[in-house]
Structure 1
Amino acid sequence: MYGVPVMMTCLDPMEQFAASVYTKVIFTQVKKEIDSISIVNFISKRRVSTTMVYTVEEYGFPGQNVVALYDLKRGRLVCRCGFWEKKSFPCRNIFLVMKYEHVKIIPERLILRRWRKDVKTVNGYTEKTALADERGFLLRHGALDATSQWMLFVGSKNDDLYKKCMSGIRQICCDLQACSDNDTMDMSLNAACDVRDPTVVRSKGAPSTRGHKG
């Protein structure tokens, strides 16, 4: 819908994730904040329980310190500069903290639903059509793909989360199959419902998925 933006900053993973999530207008503003990391000076950091407390200042304003908090356990990022209250997306200070903590994905709680590319695309198109044509299928597919990326990221962190995520995917696929009245989708839903662990997928006689794109 919007094309693929050219990566302009030195933080490609962070910028690419933002480009995949935000609408074009909001991404342009977010990219400016990512690029503005260069004018933010790191002062210090200290640990308070599970939270890392960062102190930074902006170039040209020495002594005007700003505090940003990062809680790894809860995936919480907060800056006390007041930018979030005005713009509702992360500021340059938060992106600096993400850089220091090697965080490549913007926490889900910092991405408002109204700024998301998938919500804007599908909801806007729904008003004009019943989404029964090929374009509607592609829009829905893209929206589901973008929304599921965070689930896949969290579900891959450890074995317990992986098992819970896999169990949920199996259940959702089976529920979708039960609710679907479209005969043309039955074959793909049957295959999706039978989600297996990696060691089982390679068993003899298992159907091959190579060459097929969702």
Structure 2
Amino acid sequence: MVHSFGLEDNDWIASTYEKKEQWMHAYLCDKFCAGLRTTSKCEGIDSSLKKFIKSENCLLELVENLDRVVKDYRNNEFIVDYKSLYTDPVLMTGLESLERLASKLYTRKIFFEVKEQIESVGGMIVLYKDRFGSIEKFMLRKFRKPHRVYVVLYDKSSDKFECSCKLLNSVGILCGHIFCILKELDIEELPNRLVLKRWCKDAKSDIISTIEVQSDLDRAFRIRYGVLWAACLKMCFLAAQGSETYEKVVNIVAKMSNELESMCYIGDKGGHAHLVGNDIDFGNPHIIRSKGAPRGNTNAKNGRRCRRNQFLGRGEPRTVAGKGAGIHSICKINVGLLDMKYVPLSCGPFG
């Protein structure tokens, strides 16, 4: 196109092409990125790791510090979940019904981002609206910003909204333009298809493992164990707040443990799970043999023999006059031409 219009020497074209690395936002504005920028995730992880990891740490200290980082992440997650579930934000906008519904659906952090979009509705002006069958088209702009016009399409048959700013597509929250159209249409509830599940308070409620038990028993066990462990952490945190809740939860856990023990049985050579009715039980794991030569049998019948003379015992055969002959030594005595058989002697240190 540059060659066809003869713009090779145009300064504006050259300077714009040099900034081509910054065009990514224009191409990815309708792709879901959960609000992440190119380096924000890496910078956030680096800043967290610097608190725990030092360059002079050995390997053992590195592993321990990484475990502390994971625990710190999980602790922050528990605190945020607790605030989202057990605290109510103050409603401050004019769209009280929409704001209250958003506070019940979204987590605390996401709600404040949605609240900013609701507050921007006061500065929106609807310029034009038209209808094409079941689709309504709205054109609006912000107050004292006439050069930027936004287009919102609303399909009444499917309850679908689409805005030209693409905030719903890229971040997953409603933009102020869609909230303005909801106010224009006098809609008091958020359509279900506009609420992204991952930003809701109950986002973790639908975590279900789909791994088949017979395909990979060990991996299925680890996944289920991890999910149960994570699910019980919040319960342990809340139960430890007081003695009454602590005693109640301890009794419930003990009762459930007894019920599970009666429903399952343990003890299989393979160490895999077995179905008991609709329940699953896991046997003992395989015992791995250690490296090296196996342990020999040291009984009298199969005792160790001398490689040279093939008699029981260790080393060279010892005669009666041999020094240090021990109890139960096996000796061979040559007297002239008489060759005696191997006979056990009881010649201790006192002869």
Q: Shorter-normalised TM-score: what interval?
A: 0.5 to 0.7
Out of 126, 142, 152, the residue aligned to residue 42 of structure 1 is: 126
Q: Which residue of 2 aligns with 1:89?
A: 173
* Structure 1 pair 63–130 and aligned structure 2 pair: CA distance change class (3 A): closer
Deviation string, structure 1 residues 58-114 (Cα, Å, up to 9, x no partner): 223203211101122211111111222332111000000000111111111111111
Higher Rg of the two aligned structures:
2
Q: Which residue of 1 aligns with 2:107?
A: 23
* Structure 1 pair 9–125 and aligned structure 2 pair: CA distance change class (3 A): farther
TM norm structure 1 = 0.57
Q: How many residues align?
A: 136
Kept in 2, the 8 Å contact 1:57–1:64? The answer is yes
Deviation at 1:126, TM superposition (A): 6.6
Deviation at 1:40, TM superposition (A): 1.3
Q: Which residue of 1 aligns with 2:144?
A: 60
Kept in 2, the 8 Å contact 1:23–1:120? The answer is no
Residue 5 in structure 1 maps to residue 108 in structure 2 = no
Q: Which runs of 4+ in 1 moved over 3 A?
A: 120-126, 130-133
Kept in 2, the 8 Å contact 1:39–1:59? The answer is yes
* Structure 1 pair 55–126 and aligned structure 2 pair: CA distance change class (3 A): farther
SS in 2 for 1:78: strand
- Structure 2 residue identity aligned to 1:52: E
SS in 2 for 1:88: coil
SS in 2 for 1:35: helix
- The root-mean-square deviation of aligned C-alpha atoms, in Å, is 2.8
Q: Which residue of 1 aligns with 2:331?
A: none
Alignment of 1:106-121 (within 5 A): 106-120=190-204
SS in 2 for 1:63: strand
Alignment of 1:40-189 (within 5 A): 40-120=124-204, 127-129=230-232
Structure of greater relative contact order (alpha carbons < 8 Å, 6+ residues apart)? 1
Q: What stretches of structure 2 of length at least 5 have no aligned partner?
A: 1-84, 208-226, 240-258, 260-351
Q: Determine the C-alpha separation between the residues in 2 that align with 1:58 and 1:115.
A: 27
TM norm structure 2 = 0.35
Percent identical among aligned pairs is 28
Q: What stretches of structure 1 of length at least 5 have no aligned partner?
A: 137-180, 182-214
SS in 2 for 1:104: coil
Q: Which residue of 2 aligns with 1:33?
A: 117
Deviation at 1:121, TM superposition (A): 7.4
